[in-house]
Amino acid sequence: MRHPDVPESLEGWWILHRMFEFDRLAWDKLPQEQRTEIAREALAAFDSLKQSQDTDLGLAQMVGHKGDLMLTHYSKNYDGLAFAQTVVDKLRLSAFLKGSSSYTSVLELGLYEATGKIHATLAERNLKANSPEWNAAFDELLQEQQKHPHYGGRLWARIPQRRYVCFYPMDKKRGENVNWYMQPFEDRAKMMMEHGKIGRTFSGLVTQVISGSIGFDKYEWGVDLYSDDPMVFKKLIYEMRFDEASAKYGDFGDFYSGVQFSVDQLPTYLEGKALPVLNVLQTANA
């Protein structure tokens, strides 16, 4: 049975974020020949995850004490995340990586507006909510939304190849006095539309990836922001704080930010003598 107040969503990539502390001092004590061999092994494994049609991999050097390296895994199925985790954990490099945090979610496109239109259409047909006729008509109209080419392109887009990344989890408040889920569907839909308008003013400056994590992790959503200018993160998030959906109902976890770099730059990151770069060609083709 479908609850009429629940907004529909479309799901794409499964996503796993893993944050690690890197023991550079222990790494530097290894002979150069051994470091090169271990880096080559890790590079081959990361490249296989990056080049597959069913998975993707993003690497970022984190800034701050919460971690040194973030791996972002995409997979077309949940099992693929478990496989990617195993691939990384079997590497000799993992002896120098200590997990500091992780986050599991699935890429999600919320359909508040589309769900609202479906509700209106069914009301015009005088169908009773949750009746067999209502459910059948709802499923038919939702399938029409799923066929839209715009959704497919967003659901299966690969990890944005932009220099800077910011990741954070978030909830909608469910307290005794302030509870997002007790608000009427129409009010929530209106707030989310206003929320989306702010994001669209940053079009071209930032690429946003929203993932749902209800049932998979502590918070309800994960948010990835990618940009060529880290200052965009501050301006976008600060402006959204004045939006009612965030100001009244938003609850945020830790923020993780850093610089993305290409897989072939892994040896540079490990050596620590220069900042690894994001390959320009990859960025141009993203």
- Could you list the active site residues? 168
The CB density around residue 232, as the number of other CB atoms within 10 Å, is 18
Shortest CA distance to 268 belongs to which of 67, 39, 65, 89?
A: 39
Residue identified by tokens 């038919």 is 140
